[in-house]
Structure 1
Amino acid sequence: MSKIKYYYDTETCKYERVKVKKRDVVINALGFFSLSLILAIGIIVVLSNYFDSPKELALKKENDELKLYYDIMQNQLTSMDDMLKVLQEKDDQVYRTVFEAEPIPETVREAGSGGVLKYRDLLESDLSNKDLVVGTLDKLDRVKKKMYIQTKSYDEIMQLARNKDEYYAAMPAIQPVSNEDLRRFSSGFGMRTDPVLKVKRMHYGVDFSAEQGTPIYATADGKISVARTTYTGLGKHVKIDHGFGFETVYGHMNRYIVKAGQNVKRGQIIGYVGNTGKSTAPHVHYEVHINNKAVNPVNYFYMDLDAEQYEEILRLSTIENQSLGSYANQ
């Protein structure tokens, strides 16, 4: 029941009833609602800026948990990458060194797998943490690529291990001329004076001086790739492909007793010392190539020599003297 209000009229000296106009009621109601609306908006602004709703609190908690899991995942990826680096170092410096295999180039190991362009759709999305996600996915792809390369490397190492016996049988490991028949080690690997041209030239092998007709032995198992006679350079000479990148050359023979395509064993006689081609005295010119590159054959004489003999051969090979053959037209 609404209250009836009165006022004292001084002219009539009576209490008169207060009559409320509808216009005043509307204005008062609008004022009340306006004030209430302003207060409500203010309360909402304050609550939204300084207080989280239950839903926001749940989302923030979820984000914190996701960030924690993200940090754990990043640490695990970093640990995996560090472990891969250790495996790569062992692979290159130990396993591949043992089997004399070339290390895997760093550019191959560090190669990417498409970069962030793989994730263009993700980058163009409205995801707030897209850079974080893309960076993690890219790092994961790189680790996966390194792991794949490492597994392929281990497959190669395992194959080398299985072929170890064949590998060592194919490695040149003896002298082409027996120590009993050897007159002297006449010229080593390196810059030497050409006996014909009388100028310093690279001598890609070693010269063993011996009587003409002295047997020449294959220094490792392999297949004859060349058995040829020329009137310049190496004269009558033989080349043996041993596999695994090894090749040996025997020059200035008096004659050879093998033919191209024939398989030979280490220690098998393949010919005899001579003085053919551009040679100034009976000897055998002997070369060792690894992956088509000439290397010092002295490093592969260890099966024929004891420690003192090997040291002496090393000393003699460093003496700069004149080679016994010229290979200008070889």
Structure 2
Amino acid sequence: MSKVKYYYDSETLSYRKIERKKRTTLKYIFGFLLSSALFGFIFVFIASQFVESPKEKALKRELANMEFQYELLNKKMDEAESVLASIEDRDNNIYRLYFEANPIPAEQRRAGFGGINRYKNLEGFDNSKLIIESNKRIDILQKQIVVQSKSLDEIVKLAEEKEKFLAAIPAIQPVNNEDLTRMASGFGMRSDPFTKARKMHWGMDFTSPRGTPVYATGDGVVKRADAGAAGYGRHIRIDHGYGYTSLYAHLYKYNVKKNQKVKRGDIIGFVGSTGRSEAPHLHYEIFKNEQRINPINFYYGSLTAEEFNDLLEQASQENQSLD
């Protein structure tokens, strides 16, 4: 029960009961509610500044995790860029150099993307700068990988071509050392066995018994196996490609036919003394772009350094040729 309040009336010299008007009561109630609402708003506002809701905590955790993942991503990109830089260095300074291909310029490898803003949809967020930079690095890294992949594809093709070239080029002696009687004459001015006049000897003469095997000095295709060229007697010509042709003359008989493919080391014929020949021997020539060149420079595939030096010494002697 609410307390009854009184006041002293000086006119009547007596106490009178205080009567509260309804308007005043409503005013008090309204004032109380207003102040309560205001206090509650202030409390909620202050609490929101210092106290996080479960949703805010979840969002903060998600944001922190995202930043951590982006940090890990950037570290992985650092490692990927380092590995790719090492591959690019080897590509330019070893692989492409070896296969005589032009290095790929750094500006071509690391070129960005011009034109329109590719990352406009990533702008306007709290971490837009971080997200955009990471996406730029990924895009450039992907482009570098594509450039390097194409370069390695080119290197593979060059390597395959180089392998074919190395297999095709004449690189061994056409007669085994153990089958040789001697190396009779080399490339250069020599005395003709029939006229005794000095003239150019365009090949090398390997003396060996009749029937000694003659070997293809490189991969190629037999273009001739006949006796239709003056002075050579029975002879074979092999087209090795890349401008190289080898010739084997004065043969006893053939072991191949025209248009037959041969590999280095295949037996193609046998030593004889047909044509303009003084004794059984193999006359061997090499052509490069239809010009005769010294065969002495093409035995790296079958002779040791000591054997090559001996051959070089014998070939340099200005003796009499056998054809």
Q: TM-score range by the shorter chain?
A: 0.5 to 0.7
> Residue 161 of structure 1 aligns to a residue in which SS?
helix
Unaligned segments of structure 1, at least 5 residues: 184-210, 223-239, 249-264, 274-283, 287-299, 311-330
Match of 2:202 in 1: 215
Displacement of 1:134 = 2.0
| Amino acid corresponding to residue 165 of structure 1 in structure 2 | E
Residue 71 in structure 1 maps to residue 71 in structure 2: yes
Partner residue, 2:261:
none
Q: Secondary structure at the match of 1:118?
A: coil
User: Structure 2: which amino acid aligns with 1:140?
Assistant: I
Shift of 1:221: 8.9
1:76 and 1:116 mapped to 2: Cα distance? 28
How far apart, CA to CA, are the structure 2 residues paired with 1:83 and 1:52?
A: 44
Q: Take 1:104 and 1:161, find their aligned partners in 2: how far apart are those partners?
A: 17
Please give the residue correspondences for 1:80-119 in structure 2 after superposition, counting only pairs within 5 Å. Answer: 80-114=80-114, 117-119=117-119
Following superposition of structure 1 onto structure 2, how do residues 10-29 of structure 1 map, counting pairs within 5 Å?
10-29=10-29
Residue 64 of structure 1: CA displacement? 0.5
Counterpart mapping for 1:243-322 below 5 A: 267-269=285-287, 303=300
The 1:14/1:29 distance shift into structure 2, 3 A limit, reads: same
Q: State which structure, 1 or 2, has the greater radius of gyration over its C-alpha atoms.
A: 2
Assess if the C-alpha contact under 8 Å between 2:186 and 2:203 holds in 1. no
How far apart are the structure 1 equivalents of 2:4 and 2:291? Answer: 143
1:220-231 aligned within 5 A: none
Q: CA RMSD in A?
A: 4.4
Aligned to 2:151: 153
Moved more, 145-154 or 126-135: 126-135
Match of 1:130 in 2: 128
Q: Please report how far the alpha carbon of residue 151 of structure 1 lies from its aligned counterpart in structure 2 after TM superposition.
A: 1.8
Q: Which residue of 1 aligns with 2:142?
A: 144
What amino acid maps onto 1:8 in structure 2? Answer: Y
Structure 1 residue 106 displacement after superposition: 1.6
Aligned position for 1:165: 163
2 CA distance for matches of 1:119 and 1:96? 36
Q: Is the 8 A contact 1:77 1:140 kept in 2?
A: yes
Q: Structure 2: how far apart are the matches of 1:63 and 1:272?
A: 76
Letter matched to residue 66 of structure 2: L
> Measured at CA, do residues 171 and 78 of structure 1 come closer, stay the same or move farther in structure 2, by a change above 3 Å?
farther
| Partner deviation per Cα, 1:209-262 (whole Å, 9 max, x = no partner) | xx8644289xx999xxxxxxxxxxxxxxxxx9965xxx89xxxxxxxxxxxxxx
Structure 1 vs Structure 2: percent identity of aligned residues? 32
1:184-220, CA deviations, whole angstroms, 9 ceiling, x for partnerless residues? Answer: xxxxxxxxxxxxxxxxxxxxxxxxxxx8644289xx9
Aligned equivalent of 2:187 = 181
Residue identity matched to 1:268: I
1:41 aligns to 2:41 (yes or no): yes
Q: 1:269 to 1:86 in 2, by over 3 A?
A: closer
> What is the CA–CA distance in structure 2 between the aligned matches of 1:272 and 1:64, rounded to whole Å?
75
Contact 1:215–1:272 (CA under 8 A) maintained in structure 2: no
TM-score (norm 2): 0.53
Alignment-derived partner of residue 297 in structure 1? none
Q: Normalization by structure 1: what TM-score?
A: 0.52
